[in-house]
Each structure stands twice: as structure tokens, then as C-alpha cells.
Amino acid sequence: MDLSLSDEQKQLQEAAERFVRDKYTFENRRKIAASERGWLPENWAQFAELGWLGMAFSEEDGGYGGGPIETMIVMEQFGKGLVLEPFLPTVVLGGGMIASAGSKAQKEALLAPMIEGKKQFAFAWLERQSRYNLADVSLKATKEGAGWSLSGHKGVVYNAPSADHIIVLARTAGSAREPKGLTLFIVDAKAKGISRRDYPTQDALRASELTFDKVSVGADAVLGKVDDAFPVVEGAVDRAIVALCAEATGCMDAINAATLEYIKTRKQFGVPIGKFQVLQHRMVDCFTNAQEARSMTLMASLKIDDKDPTVRAKAASGAKVQIGKSGKFCGQSAVQMHGGMGVTDELSVSHYFKRLTMIDLMFGNQQHHLTRYSNLAMAA
């Protein structure tokens, strides 16, 4: 057992820290969030240059041979800066699915340019009725000549406004909510028949509602096997969950640090409010919560490549439960300890709080993953 970072990993961490320090001051982030796109192409180009877009992919896929620990390192720093560039949908989800299920041709056409920073993705899985059930999919793909025709609706598709390609989870067979009978399609974002309603999210990211009206794609649009996408999707989402957990630990570190600083300097009754024991203990609980979150994220990052899907799923759900719990505790406590300042848009605390809250809602909240973990653990 060895839980220390390698020299390269330390360098990666330093580089990511530096990026956040230089490019993601609170005021800078505000500007980026308010810009048309909601993220900066020059930052994306820098990610490509630094090798972050390819770090987690194997060398044969054109990457640099890293893995989940590298993703964890970078995502954690992104959490500290509340970075807005669409790394999760493009690299972790899109790139991840293409790497795990794509053909040689698809990898060449899509993964290689993604690593160079020239292509972005969005993953469309959720529908109005799905809640957190990845198999609750009714968007239909029907055979049309050699290819397929897609019709239906997808919701809260992150990065859809900027994506070049949308990876769509569609039903090709089976009944509602059946894991069997699902297929992934890689669709050109500008394809005829796709209409978009774009919007910002609570935490200043960009997403869309998508309507597919008889969108025609060729046979080569299928990613992986027809009717058999569920295991690919579940694996990719588990990976995304662990990446989100790493982002959340970064958010927690930052919000705790800001709060600690605040209670050391804000004075009431003639003393810094950090002198009041009730706040001291709450601050201690914040740190303990962040520690637990970091531990579970590390454990999940180390188990996410396990060959046994149950080990992987339990690790991802376990970490997500912890992040939900810790994120809520740190977020709510930070706001409370800031008093009125905590509920304004003016300080960074409320922005971290919003992001932590949204992370809990993404890909299943604390309760959902507790149930998933519990079912898997009871079945063993």
C-alpha cells in the first residue's frame, strides 16, 4: 500500500493549483460565468497544452497513460477555483465512453482531436421522467435503412450549447426502464432535427433541453454495441461521480479555508467570532467532514478501475454518499458562520455552496446512492 503521489502527480497538482490561482480569481470567474459561452477557449487550449485533456487515456488511445488519480488531482483543483470549462462532460464522460466502447475509427476521429482541444462533447441521458435511473430512457432510435432515426427528448444536458458532438442514450429495444435494449449514438450537435433550449444552471454552468425530431444518423454513429450500452454508461457515470467527488473535496477545502479566515477576522462583542466555542466546534466538524470526503474520494479513485463492476459501483456510490453529506454540512455551516454575508452573492462562499448543492443532485443524490450502495452490499 502506498497513498503518496508520484513526482509527476505532484507536478500535475502544482500546475493545476497554479492555473486556478492565475486564472480563477473570484472576480475572473464572475466574468467568465457572465460571458456568452460561459467558459474560456484560451483556458481550454491551455488544458490541451498542459496535457490535461489526454492525461487519463492510454497511450494507444493517444493519451498519456494516467488514470483516475490524475483526474482526481485536477478535478480537486478545479473545485477550489469553481472552474467552468466543460472538462467533466467532454473528457470524463464523452472521452471516457469513447475510450471504453469506441471503435478504432471513432477514437481516431473524435478522441484524438478531443485530446488536442479541438472537440467537445455532451452526454444526453436524462429525460423528464428518469430522475436518477440511468435505464429510464424512452428516446427512441429506430432502424432507417443502414442507419438510425432518433426521436425524443433529453434534459439538463451539460455543455450541449458548446459541444461538437452529443452522445445520446437511446432505446433501441426492450421496455421502459429495462437496462437491456439501450444504445449510445454519437450525433453531430448541428444535425438536422435537433432543437435546443439553452440555459445557465444554478452554479453558472451551461446546459440545454434537447428535442430530437427524426434525427438521422449512420450505422457508424453507434458507440459500442447495439442494445448493450448500459454497462458502458454505468461505468462512465461511476467515473464521472468519482471525478465530481474530487471536485467537491476541492470546493470543501476552499469554503472551509474562507470560513476559517472569516471567523478569525470578523469581530463581534469585541472579539473575533472564532473565539466562540460553538463556532470552533462547528469549524472542527467542517474539517472532519472534508477529511472524510477526501478519504472516500481517494478510495473510490483507487477502486474505480476494478474489474468487478460491483466493487466499482459500491466505491462510487459510497463516495457520493459521503460527498453529499459532507458537502451539505460544510456548505450550510460556512453560510451560517458568515452571518448575513453568507447569503449574499458578494462573497465566494455562496458560490461554493451552490456548486456543492448541485453536485449532490447530479447523477443521484445522497439518498439515491445510499440505497444503491445498500442494495449492492446486501446482495453480496
Partner 1 sequence: MDLALKPEHKAFADEVRAFARENLSPATREKTFSGKHYDRDDHMVWQQALGKKGWLAYTWPKKYGGPGWDVTQRFLFENVLAEEGAPRILPFGPKMVGPVIYTFGTDAQKERFLPGIRSSEVSWCQGYSEPGAGSDLANLRTRAVREGDHYIVNGQKTWTSFAHWGDWIFCLVRTKPDAKPQESISFLLIDMKTPGVTVRPIIMTDGAHHVNDVFLDNVKVPVENLIGKENEGWTCAKFLLANERLGIAEVPSSKRGVSVLRQIARAEPLNGGTLADDPAFTAQIADVDLQVQALEMSELRVLSTMAQGGAPGPEVSTLKVRGSEIQQRIAELTMEAVGEYAQPYQPGMLFQDTNETPIGPDHAPPAAPRYFNMRKTSIYGGSTEIQKNIVSKMVLGL
Ligand X SMILES: Cc1cc2nc3c(=O)[nH]c(=O)nc-3n(C[C@H](O)[C@H](O)[C@H](O)COP(=O)(O)OP(=O)(O)OC[C@H]3O[C@@H](n4cnc5c(N)ncnc54)[C@H](O)[C@@H]3O)c2cc1C
Using CB under 6 A, list all residues that contact ligand X.
266, 268-269, 273, 276, 278-279, 336-337, 339-340, 343
CB of 33: closest distance to partner 1 in angstroms? 11
As to burial, measured by CB atoms within 10 angstroms (0-12 exposed, 13-18 middle, 19+ buried), residue 54 is buried
Binding positions for partner 1, 254-313, rule CB under 8 A: 267-270, 273, 276, 278-279
Nearest-angstrom CA–CA distance, 96 and 206: 20
Pattern of binders to partner 1 over 129-148, x per CB under 8 A? xxxxx--x------------
Tell the smallest beta-carbon distance from residue 101 to partner 1 (Å). 24
Residue 216's binding partner, choosing from partner 1, ligand X, none, with beta-carbon cut-off 5 to 8 A by kind? none
Nearest residue by C-beta to ligand X?
A: 339
**Residue 358 lies near partner 1 (rule: CB under 8 A):** yes
3-state secondary structure (DSSP) of residue 11? helix
Q: String of b and e for 329-364 (b: at least 16 CB within 10 Å)?
A: bbbbbbbebbeeebeeeebbbbbbbbbbbbbbebbb
Shortest Å, Cβ 249 to ligand X = 24
357 binds, among partner 1, ligand X, none (CB under 5 to 8 A by kind): partner 1
Binding site partner of 275, from ligand X, partner 1, none, Cβ cut-off 5-8 A by kind: none
CB of 86 to partner 1, least distance (A): 15
Sign of the torsion formed by the C-alpha atoms of 272, 273, 274 and 276: positive
Which one, 196 or 275, has the nearer CB to ligand X?
A: 275
What is the Cα–Cα distance from 183 to 77, expressed in whole angstroms?
A: 34
- Most distant pair of Cα atoms in the chain: their distance: 78
197 binds partner 1 (CB under 8 A): yes
322 binds, options partner 1, ligand X, none, Cβ within 5 to 8 A by partner type: none
Q: Report H helices in 6-101.
A: 7-23, 26-34, 41-50, 68-81, 87, 96-101
Task: Give the torsion sign (CA, 196, 359, 240, 88).
Answer: positive
Query: What does R_g of the chain's alpha carbons equal in angstroms?
Result: 21
15 is a contact residue toward partner 1 (CB under 8 A)? no
Q: Which helix (H) or strand (E) holds 264?
A: helix 230-265
What is the rounded distance in angstroms from the CA atom of residue 106 to the CA atom of residue 141? 20
Q: Which is nearer to ligand X, 276 or 287 (CB)?
A: 276
- H or E segment and range at residue 237: helix 230-265
Could you say which of 11, 180, 195, 200 contacts partner 1 (CB under 8 A)? 200
Give yes or no for residue 34 binding partner 1 (CB under 8 A).
Answer: no
Q: Which of 80, 107, 320, 354 touches partner 1 by CB under 8 A?
A: 354
Q: Which stretch binds partner 1 (CB under 8 A): 5-13, 53-61, 211-219, 336-344?
A: 336-344
Check: CB of residue 286 under 8 Å from CB of residue 338: no
CA distance 27 to 266: 22
Cβ atoms < 10 Å from Cβ of 303 = 20
> How many residues are there in the chain?
380
Q: Is 126 near partner 1 (CB under 8 A)? A: yes
Shorter beta-carbon distance to ligand X: residue 58 or 336: 336
**Per CB under 8 A, which region of 21-29, 44-52, 84-92, 198-206 contacts partner 1?**
198-206
Contact region with partner 1 (CB under 8 A), list: 57-65, 82-90, 110-118, 127-135: 127-135
Q: How far apart are CA 163 and CA 75, in angstroms?
A: 20
Partner in contact with 155, chosen from partner 1, ligand X, none, beta carbon below 5 to 8 Å by kind: partner 1
The one-letter amino acid at 277: Q
CB 197 within 8 A of CB 261: no
Q: Which residues bind partner 1 (CB under 8 A)?
A: 126, 128-133, 136, 155-156, 176-177, 197, 199-203, 207, 209, 267-270, 273, 276, 278-279, 332, 335-336, 339-340, 342-346, 350, 353-354, 357-358, 361-362, 365, 367, 371
